Amino acid sequence: MKCFRCLQEVPDDAEVCPYCGQIIKPILKIDRDKILDPSTLKEGDLIKDRFEIRQNLGSGGIGTVFKVYDTKYDVISIVKMLNREFCEDQEIRNRFFDEHRKVLEVDHENLVKYFEIDEFRGVPFIVTQYIDGIDLRKVINAKKNKQQFFSLSEIFPIFDGIAKALEKIHTFSFHGDLKPENVIITASGVKVTDYVISRVLPPQDFVSVQLALGDVYYYLSPEYITAPDQIDQKVDIYALGVILYEMLTCSIPKAEPAPPSSINPDIRGDVDEIVLKALSRDPEKRFCCIEEFHYEFGRVAGREGKVSLLKETIKKKKEEQRKAAKPEKKEEGPGVEGKPPEEEKPSKKVDLFAEEEMGEEKEEKKERKKELLFEEELISPEEEERIERKPEKKKSPLALILLILLILAGGAGAFVFLQGKGRNKSESSLTSPKTTQRVARKSIATPQLTVKASTNQVKKQANVAESKRKVEKTAQKVKVRKTEKKVASEEKKRVKETVKAEAGGKKESVSKEQKPEKVAMAKPPRCPPGMVYIPGGYFIYGSPPDDPYRDSFFDKYFGRTYIKGFCIDKYEYPNKKGAVPRSGVTYTQAYNLCKAQGKRLCTEAEWERACKGPSNNLFPYGMSFKNRACNTSEAGFGKILPSGSLPGCKSGFGVYDMSGNLLEWTATMTAQNMFVTKGGSYRRTKGESRCSARRPKAYFRHDKDIGFRCCKDANY
C-alpha cells in the first residue's frame, strides 16, 4: 500500500511510514486510563502541537468535531476525533484508519475533502476541509418555522448536489449516514461530509449510536435493522428519499409514509410516485441506482436537460445488475469433450411443431371427450390439466381382450349378487326370452366371481370395522382434551379472580357452581417484597397496525401471545419509592445487579405485559396520552424524577414509571450485541413512551437516561 502523506510504497502491515514517519495504523500502546477524552478539550488547546482549537462544534455520537487553526499551513480546518468510548477497541481504531485512508485521494466538487489521519494521546482523528456555510438542517428548520414548503425549483439544486456527491461515493462504497446535518449549503453549491464514519462501527453499534441522537435514525433504511449484513448503496437512496420527503412536506416519514400530495397540495402525483419508490422498505423495489433517482426527479422537476446524460449510465447499471442477478450462460460452441451445446437439440423443436400442426379436428375430439367425462362426473376439474398433459398411448390387442374379459366378469358378478335378492320375483319375469339370454351370457365363470365377491365383501366389512374403531378412538381423545382444557381454564379463572380481588381490595363475585371454600383455598403465587405478581395469560404483544403512534422502523406486531405468570419490581432499580433510580448503566451492569439480588432482567414480552395491564392499554394508564401523567419530554420536567413521584404513572397491575423517566433494559436480543430497551424516558416523546415502543441498543451503551428493573419467576 501507499503512505497517504508521501505516497511511498510501504508494507501492508506497517504501523508507521519508514520514509516520512506518518502513523498509518497505530496500535494502542498507552495506558487505557490515560486515553484523552475529546470532550475535555477547550478553546486554545493544541492538538499535536499544531492544531489550535477555535471552537467545539459538538459531538455526533461517534466523534467530536472541532474548528481549528492549522499553524503549519496557516489555514482553518476541521478536526474530527473518535470519542473515547470507542478508542479502547483496537478493531474500531483499525477500521477508523482503514476506511479514512481509502478516501484521502477522493476529490469532487460536492464532497468535503479529507486531508490526513493521525492520533493524539490515544485518540485517532481526521483532518478535513473547512466549509463556510450552513447545514441543510438549519435551512429546513427555517422553512418549518415559517410554515412554508420548499418548491421543486428550490429543492432541485440541493437534490442535484447531493445526488452528484453520492454518484461519486458509489464508485467505491456508500455513504451510510446521509442526513441534513451532513449536507452543507454554501454560496458555490452543496457539499456532503461524513461519508466514511458509518463504516467505522459495525452496523448494529452504528444504529445504537444513532438512536441516542433523536430523529436522525429515521434516515437509516430498514435493512440496518432487518439485514445489517446486506447493507449496500440502496441505503443512500432511502436516506435521500427521506430528505426529499421532509423538504416537500416539512415532516419526517416515521411510519408508513403518506403521499406527499396529501400534506402539500402543490405536489403532483408523479412526484408522489418517485418519492414513495425511494422510500420502499424493500431495497429491490427502490431505484436501481442513485443515477436513476437523480434522473427521475430531475424530469418531474422540469430539469430533464440537466440530467439527460444520466440515461446511458442508468442503462449500463441496469444491464450489470441483470447479469449479476442471472447465472452466466454457457457460450455457444462445442461443449465438454466435443459434445454439442444443449441448445442444439432439433428433435424437441420438430416435435413441438408437429403437435402444433395436429389440426382442428384432433383438438375438437379432445374437447368433446373432455366434456363427456365432466358430464358423467368420471373426473374432477382439477384433473383436467393432468388428462391433457398425459400422452396418448396406442391400445394393444391384448389390452382390448383383457378389458372385454373384465367387463364380462363384472356383469357375471353383478348377476350372482342380484340373483340372491331376486328369488321372490315372479316366475314369468325370470323365464322371459330376454332374461334367459342374459342369464345364459352372464353365467360364464360364475364360481370364480362368487369367490371374489365374497372375498371383497369380507375386506369391506373389515375396513368398515377398522374405520369405526378409529372414529371412536379419535372421539375419545377429543373428549379427554376438552375435559382437560375445561379444568385448566376453570383453575386459571379461579386464580385470576382471587388475584384481582386481593390486589384491588375487593372480593369478586363467585359463580354458584364454585364452592366458596374452594375459592378461599386458591392462593396467588408468592413474590418477594417490593415485587408485583403479573398473572399469566394472553395479551396483545407489540404495536398493532392501527396504533396511531406506530413507528414502522422499530415497532413490531407479534399478535396475541400467551405468557406465564411472573414477578416484577414495582419501581425502577433500586426499587425504592422516593429514591432516584440508577441511570447510565450498560446492559451487562443491569444484568449483574439483578443477578446479585437473585433476580433477572425481564424479557420484552414480560415488561410489556406488566405495562399494558389487564386491559392491553396503549400507555400504562390508558389508551390515550396524558400530558404530565408520566415524566416524558412533553411534561417538561427535564430530569429524572424519584420513583413513584407521579401517582398517575401506574399500570393496571400497579407497576410504576413504565412510561418516561428512564429507558429500561430488557433481556430480549434483536441482533448481535443489541438488546431492546422499553418505556421511553424524560428526554423522549409520547410515541416512545408507549408500552409497545422498542428501541434496540448496543450492550455497552450507558446513556444518562437508561436504567432498568428486575423480574423473577413466581414461587408457586
Q: What is the pLDDT of residue 341?
A: 42
Per-residue pLDDT, 539: 92
Q: For residue 91, what are the contacts with CB-CB under 8 A and spacing of at least 6?
A: none
What values do phi and psi take at 67, rounded to 5? -90, 125
Answer left, alpha or beta for residue 664, where phi above 0 means left and psi between -120 and 50 means alpha. beta
SS3 157: helix
- The rounded radius of gyration (Å) of the Cα atoms in the chain is 39
- Is the distance from CB of 643 to CB of 572 less than 8 angstroms? yes
> In sequence order, what are the residues at sequence separation of 6 or more whose Cβ sits closer than 8 angstroms to the Cβ of residue 172?
102, 103, 106
- Mean pLDDT throughout 499-509? 44
Helix (H) or strand (E) holding 451: helix 446-504
Sheet containing strand 183-186, strands side by side:
134-135, 183-186, 189-192
Q: Which CATH class is domain 531-713?
A: alpha beta
pLDDT at 453 exceeding the cut of 80? no
Tell me the three state secondary structure of residue 518. Answer: helix
Beta bridge partners of 65: 58, 80
Over 50: is that where the pLDDT of 416 sits?
Answer: no
* Domain range 32-129, CATH class: alpha beta
Please state the rounded mean pLDDT for residues 298-315: 92
Q: What pLDDT band is residue 91 in, cutting at 50, 70 and 90?
A: confident
Cis peptide before 222 (omega within 30 of 0): no
Check if the beta carbon of residue 147 is closer than 8 Å to that of residue 164.
no
Residue 651 has pLDDT above 50, yes or no: yes
Kindly state the average pLDDT of the residues 45-57: 94
- As a whole number of angstroms, the distance between CA 135 and CA 127 comes to 19
End-to-end CA distance of the chain: 67
Per-residue confidence (pLDDT) for residue 526, from 0 to 100: 82
Least confident of 158-167, 168-177, 263-272, 512-521: 512-521
In whole angstroms, what is the distance from residue 184 CA to residue 169 CA?
Answer: 16
Tell me what pLDDT residue 339 has: 40
For β-strands 663-671 and 674-678, DSSP reports them as antiparallel
Rounded to an integer, what distance in angstroms lies between the CA atom of residue 59 and that of residue 212?
A: 12
What Å distances lie between residue 546 and 256, 557, 614, CA to CA? 12, 11, 20
Burial class (CB in 10 A: 0-12, 13-18, 19+), 265: exposed
Q: Which three cell numbers stand for residue 71?
A: 499553524
Contact 246, 219 (CB under 8 A): no
> Considering the chain, what percentage of its residues have pLDDT values greater than 70?
68
Q: Is the pLDDT of residue 424 over 70?
A: no
Residues 582-594 have pLDDT tens digits of 999 999 999 999 9
Q: Are 166 and 178 in contact (CB under 8 A)?
A: yes
* Closest listed residue to residue 158, CA positions, set 217, 219, 220, 110: 110
Which of 19-28, 233-242, 639-648, 677-686 shows the lowest mean pLDDT across its residues?
Answer: 19-28
Q: Say whether 481 sits in a helix, a strand or coil.
A: helix
Residue 287's nearest CA partner among 304, 269, 310 is 310
Please report the beta strands in 159-203, taking only residues with DSSP state E, as ranges in sequence order.
Answer: 183-186, 189-192
DSSP string of 204-222? HHHHHHHHTTSGGGGGS-T
> How many angstroms from the chain centroid is the CA of residue 13?
39
- pLDDT (average), residues 129-138: 93
Q: Do the beta carbons of residue 125 and residue 48 sit within 8 Å?
A: no
If you search the block for the grid coordinates 449479476, which residue do you land on? 324
Decide if pLDDT at 546 tops 90. no
Domain ranges of the chain: 32-129, 134-321, 491-523, 531-713
pLDDT bin (cut points 50, 70, 90) of residue 442 is very low
Which of 22-36, 99-113, 356-370 shows the lowest mean pLDDT across its residues?
356-370
The pTM for the full model equals: 0.52
Read off the C-alpha cell for 566: 411472573
Q: How confident is the model at residue 456, as a pLDDT?
A: 56
Q: In this predicted structure, what is the pLDDT of residue 716?
A: 65
Residue 535 has pLDDT above 80, yes or no: yes
Portion of the chain with pLDDT greater than 90, in percent: 47
Which CATH class, in words, describes the domain spanning 134-321? mainly alpha
pLDDT, tens digit, for every residue of 209-234? 887 777 888 999 988 888 888 899 99
| The predicted structure's pLDDT at residue 334 | 39
- Residue 80: predicted pLDDT: 95
Cell of 202: 459495525
Query: In which band, very low, low, confident or very high, does the pLDDT at 368 lie, cut at 50, 70 and 90?
Result: very low
Grid look-up 402444433 returns 356
pLDDT value at residue 509: 37
User: What pLDDT, in 10s, does the model give residues 313-361?
Assistant: 999 999 988 888 765 444 444 333 334 444 333 333 333 333 333 344 4
Would you say the C-alpha torsion 61, 66, 70, 75 has a positive or negative sign?
A: positive
- State the Cα angle at 668 between 665 and 669, rounded to 5°: 105
Predicted confidence (pLDDT) at residue 536 exceeds the cutoff of 70: yes
- The SS3 assignment for 275 reads helix
Look up residue 695 and give its three cell numbers: 428501541
Q: Give CA–CA dist 300/274, Å, rounded.
A: 9
> Quick one: average pLDDT of 100-108?
90
- pLDDT-derived band at 408, boundaries 50, 70, 90: low
**How far apart, in whole angstroms, are the C-alpha atoms of residue 690 and residue 598?**
29
Q: Is the pLDDT of residue 552 over 90?
A: no
Give the start-end residues of each E strand in 35-188: 46-47, 51-59, 63-70, 75-82, 114-120, 123-129, 134-135, 183-186
